[in-house]
Amino acid sequence: MSLRDLLLSRPAMAIRAKEWAQIWLDPSTFGLVILMPLILMFLFGSAVTLDVRATRTGVIDLDRSSASRDLVGAISHNAYFRVVEQDSVAAAEPALRSGALRGFIVIPDGFERHLVTGSAPQVQLVTDGSQVNTATLLAANLRGALRSWAEARSLEQGAREAGAIGLIPRYTYNPGLESRYMLVPGAIGIVMAMIGSLLTALIMAREYERGTMEGLLATPISIPVLVFSKLLPYYVLGLASTAICVAVAVWGYGLPFRGSYLGLFLISSAFLAAVLGQGLLISAATKNQFVSTQFALLSGFLPSLLLSGFLFEIDSMPVAIQWLTYIVPARYLIPPLQSVFLVGDVWSMFLPNIAALLVFGGFFFLRVTRAIKRQIA
């Protein structure tokens, strides 16, 4: 089979024309290709943020001294907290239970007395542990606030030098600490995974469900040509979606684009080859649109969102799940995609990932042609 057969033979062109006509006649495909990227880019650019600002925090000052008032003032002015003063723990408790507060700080009686005598006074923080991430960040932010308050206070009182060992962080590629820079490229991966697996999951199942598959198989077209020609239009749509995403990311959200379009094109093509093949295999194997979409969700969209390392660090997952991430194509997409925006063309990292994705693509392609062939026999 030559490339000519795959691309330019009459049956190939006929199937492609038919697929294009079907896409053209159904506005929902365009809805997915154009609307989905816009919705997702908006959500990941503007709604989803992992930064915790202005956490609703109760403060109970039982000391009522000048030192404790000073500390309450410092916390109130800190952008990480939105302080609500409470009289007692009994008053704060229902607020924490209903979710009106995410935590409360208790400054115990004797706070100033301890401070003056030079022994470290206690400050208590009670968090809403049901919101694990917020609770962790609340504690870290309060720790930071207490430290800078203590340092400022000791400088005021004439101490020579603040903290003995300081950590000076420098963030490469993202000095402004924008969580958007991490989330938006990830969102592009999600869009591609979705378009790739969901659209193709429907196309074969539809033919089977409507009974038109036998008609297709009765034509003299060879199976690889059929599969390839069915995929090609969706590959073009996937690339179009990616282009929309990149445009929104760069012009709408001001992400830098430090790599080359060639790099981006190669990575996206390799990833699309993998997910399109995956969707088509699901479609050919299940032959039912409902089952097929459920499988596409289960094996395409959700793993891309949850197991690709884009939202949740792979290193932090249980070991068995870490192994599982190796068979999630999105795992090989996210690092090069983030790099092509923030770092540049890191070919030494791109090429192994592209190779892995192409292996996935080839494997799925072979499986699909086999799955279809078996039926004729």
Partner 1 sequence: MNGALTRILAMALKELAVVLRDRRVLTTLVASPVIQLVLFGLATTLEVKNVSLGLVNRDNGVASERFLAVVAGSQVVGKIIVYPSERALAEAIEQRAVLGGLILPSDLSARVARGDEGKIGFLLDGRRINAAQIVQAYLAEVAATAGQSLGIGPVEPRLVIRNWYNPNLDYSWFTLPGMIAVITTVLVLSVSVQAIAREREFGTYDQLLALPIQHWEIVLGKIAPSFLVGLGNGAFYVAMVALVSDVPFHGSFAPIVLAIAAFSLAVSAIGLAISAVAASQQQAFLGGFLVIVPMILLSGYASPIDGMPEWLQPIAALDPLTHLLVVCHGTFLKGMSSALILGHIWPMLLVALTFLALAVMLLRRRSN
Question: Which range of residues in 212-220, 243-251, 266-274, 345-353 is near partner 1 by CB under 8 A?
Answer: 345-353
Amino acid at 173: Y
Residue 134, judged by CB atoms within 10 A of its CB (0-12, 13-18, 19+), counts as middle
Q: Which of 8, 14, 73, 163 binds partner 1 (CB under 8 A)?
A: 163
Q: Which of residues 210-269 bind partner 1 (CB under 8 A)?
A: none
Q: Is 61 helix (H, G, I), strand (E, B) or coil?
A: strand
**Please, which residues have CB within 8 angstroms of residue 324's CB and are 6 or more apart in sequence?**
307
Comparison of 185 and 224: residue with beta carbon closer to partner 1: 185
Question: Which range of residues in 218-226, 238-246, 268-276, 293-301 is near partner 1 by CB under 8 A?
Answer: 293-301
Comparison of 12 and 194: residue with beta carbon closer to partner 1: 194
Q: Which of 21, 43, 247, 351 binds partner 1 (CB under 8 A)?
A: 43
Q: Which of residues 50-79 bind partner 1 (CB under 8 A)?
A: 50-56, 71
Q: Minimal CA–CA distance to 230: which of 276, 278, 194?
A: 276
DSSP 198-249: IIHHHHHHHHHHHT-HHHHHHSS--HHHHHHHHHHHHHHHHHHHHHHHHHII
Cα–Cα distance measured from residue 233 to residue 248, given in angstroms and rounded to the nearest whole number:
23
Amino acid at 292: S
**Residue at token pair 């990227």:** 37
**Residue at token pair 């290709």:** 33
**Residue at token pair 């190796």:** 326
Binding mask 14-33 for partner 1 (x = CB under 8 A): ------------xxxx-xx-
Comparison of 127 and 224: residue with beta carbon closer to partner 1: 127
Q: Which of residues 98-117 bind partner 1 (CB under 8 A)?
A: 98-99, 102, 111, 115
Q: Which of 129, 215, 254, 362 binds partner 1 (CB under 8 A)?
A: 129
Q: Is 158 helix (H, G, I), strand (E, B) or coil?
A: coil
DSSP 270-338: HHHHHHHHHHHHHHHHH--HHHHHHHHIIIIIHHHHHSSSSSS-GGGS-HHHHHHGGG-THHHHHHHHH
Record the tokens describing residue 261, joined without a space: 């379009």
**Shortest Cβ distance from residue 131 to partner 1 (Å)?**
7
**Please, which residues have CB within 8 angstroms of residue 204's CB and are 6 or more apart in sequence?**
213, 230, 280, 283, 284, 287
**Shortest Cβ distance from residue 206 to partner 1 (Å)?**
7
Comparison of 118 and 220: residue with beta carbon closer to partner 1: 118
Q: Which of 3, 10, 47, 374 binds partner 1 (CB under 8 A)?
A: 47
CA dist 3 → 8, 234, 242 (Å): 8, 18, 25
**Shortest Cβ distance from residue 210 to partner 1 (Å)?**
8
Record the tokens describing residue 157, joined without a space: 């009182």
Residue 255, Ramachandran bin (φ over 0: left; ψ between -120 and 50: alpha; else beta): beta
Comparison of 1 and 155: residue with beta carbon closer to partner 1: 155
Q: Which of 343, 356, 358, 366 binds partner 1 (CB under 8 A)?
A: 343
Binding mask 131-150 for partner 1 (x = CB under 8 A): xxxxxxx-xx-xxx-xx-xx
Q: Which of 130, 212, 219, 375 binds partner 1 (CB under 8 A)?
A: 130
Q: Which of 1, 14, 24, 46 binds partner 1 (CB under 8 A)?
A: 46
Binding mask 175-214 for partner 1 (x = CB under 8 A): x-xxx-xx-----------x---x---x---x--------
32 contacts 199 by C-beta, under 8 angstroms: yes
Q: Does 286 bind partner 1 (CB under 8 A)?
A: yes
Q: Does 295 bind partner 1 (CB under 8 A)?
A: yes
**Shortest Cβ distance from residue 366 to partner 1 (Å)?**
24
What is the torsional sign of CA 359, 324, 191, 33? Answer: positive
Q: Which of residues 300-329 bind partner 1 (CB under 8 A)?
A: 302, 306-307, 311-313, 315-318, 321, 324
Question: Which range of residues in 6-14, 161-169, 219-227, 246-254 is near partner 1 by CB under 8 A?
Answer: 161-169
